Structure 1
């Protein structure tokens, strides 16, 4: 079984839980290190862009982060997945549900006129909802954080993720599954700084 609990799938090497990758790494630890190293380097080279943002934009971010590792980087997953007790969006609903979330963000003007407190509430909710879409087989969190860097910067605020540990991220996103966005609000309250324009 792979880490999402779906058993053997086409994304993994036969008989293993290791994702097929362009480096042909067959060890989870080595692959995780390569993912971290490659995605950190790629993230540093991604330029900020103004809205509108949409699913193709998120796909482009994912492709930039993982194209050196995965042939399917930037492609919508073709397999239903779950993690622990959380089942992510059914494959057939990924695009329509993502369209709804991005349309809602657009209707809210990409939060451009929001003060810090309402911005925290708004991004916590849309982040949690988009996380449930989980459009990619792997690397969703990293791609989504870059997307939200752009959303938050465009709204006029600084953002820094480094004060949040992985366990806190996971717990906050699990709470959002049941529409409890308060842990994500705590996360974003720490991540979102002052206005970027001073």
Structure 2
């Protein structure tokens, strides 16, 4: 295991790197070289860790900033990656267009500072459903654009958004959309090529679909209808036959200058920049 992860290639086992894509199997504490087996073993471990967070068995300081995200990521991936809880050291993108937050210019910290400002300046308890969806879509768009970790951004950000929603009258049921719908909305929310601010409009129908009421329990406390349903379960790859059980809202998800959502479209693999 290398001690430093400061280049794109340093994150991978050298013998697994595909010369055409530059991707390979991420170095891991399990010393697993096969990507599919690593994904399976990673899921088993991170699902247990996610349930610990969701069940309150581990204390995560809810500061709604980079430290908050790092604490979630560290707990989730502590059994799998040596860099769990640490920001990536390389730039990344998915597909064409503008990449995620630039680690060389401090953009990751800037986006997460914006996240903190967006969350802390909002009175979440007073939001009606429409405003909650709009605010949540914007917060997630900034978290997604920061994309602070080399792997595990989606799972970490879903738990983070659950913590944000705890301040409101609403909760998220991520199983109400397929991974394809989630990924399409996320991909289309990125900034234009030479812009900074994400555009959350493509995420609004996604968050509309996953937002559910927290119902008042008999004891007077708030009862989360999604309790016990791990965010990671909704993130785990599904069989093709399962992908049809949820559909995007009428008209599909449509971003700036994009075609309507096409079922089966994927967010794409992580790509290094300037390798």
Do they fold alike, i.e. is TM over 0.5?
yes
Structure 2 partner of 1:99: 113
Query: Are the equivalent residues in 2 in contact too, given 1:11–1:20 (CA < 8 A)?
Result: yes
Moved over 4 A (4+): 48-51
Is 1:162 aligned with 2:181?
A: no
State the SS of the aligned residue for 1:118: helix
Is 1:61 aligned with 2:72?
A: yes
Aligned counterpart for 1:19 among listed residues 21, 26, 43: 26
Q: Distance in 1 between matches of 2:96 and 2:110?
A: 23
- Look at both structures and tell me which one has the larger radius of gyration over its CA atoms: 2
Is 1:113 aligned with 2:113?
A: no
Q: Distance in 1 between matches of 2:67 and 2:182?
A: 24
Query: Are the equivalent residues in 1 in contact too, given 2:88–2:150 (CA < 8 A)?
Result: yes
Q: Distance in 2 between matches of 1:90 and 1:131?
A: 13
Structure 2 partner of 1:35: 42
Instruction: Report the alpha carbon displacement of residue 113 of structure 1 after superposing the two structures with TM.
Output: 1.6
Is 1:73 aligned with 2:84?
A: yes
User: Aligned-pair RMSD on alpha carbons?
Assistant: 1.9
Query: Are the equivalent residues in 2 in contact too, given 1:153–1:159 (CA < 8 A)?
Result: no
Instruction: Report the alpha carbon displacement of residue 112 of structure 1 after superposing the two structures with TM.
Output: 2.6
Q: Normalising by structure 2, what TM-score?
A: 0.65
Is 1:84 aligned with 2:84?
A: no
When structure 1 is superposed on structure 2, of 139-148 and 84-93 the one drifting more is 84-93
Question: 1:111-148, CA deviations, whole angstroms, 9 ceiling, x for partnerless residues?
Answer: 23211110001101110121010000000000000010
Is 1:181 aligned with 2:205?
A: no
In the alignment, structure 1 segments of 5+ residues that lack a partner are 1-6
Q: Distance in 2 between matches of 1:69 and 1:176?
A: 29
Instruction: Report the alpha carbon displacement of residue 51 of structure 1 after superposing the two structures with TM.
Output: 4.3
Q: Normalising by structure 1, what TM-score?
A: 0.89
Instruction: Report the alpha carbon displacement of residue 97 of structure 1 after superposing the two structures with TM.
Output: 2.2
> Would the alpha carbon gap of residues 197 and 85 (structure 1) be closer, same or farther in structure 2, given more than 3 Å must change?
farther
In the alignment, structure 2 segments of 5+ residues that lack a partner are 1-6, 18-23, 192-197, 218-275
**What is the number of equivalent residue pairs in this alignment?**
191
Aligned counterpart for 2:141 among listed residues 123, 128, 142: 128
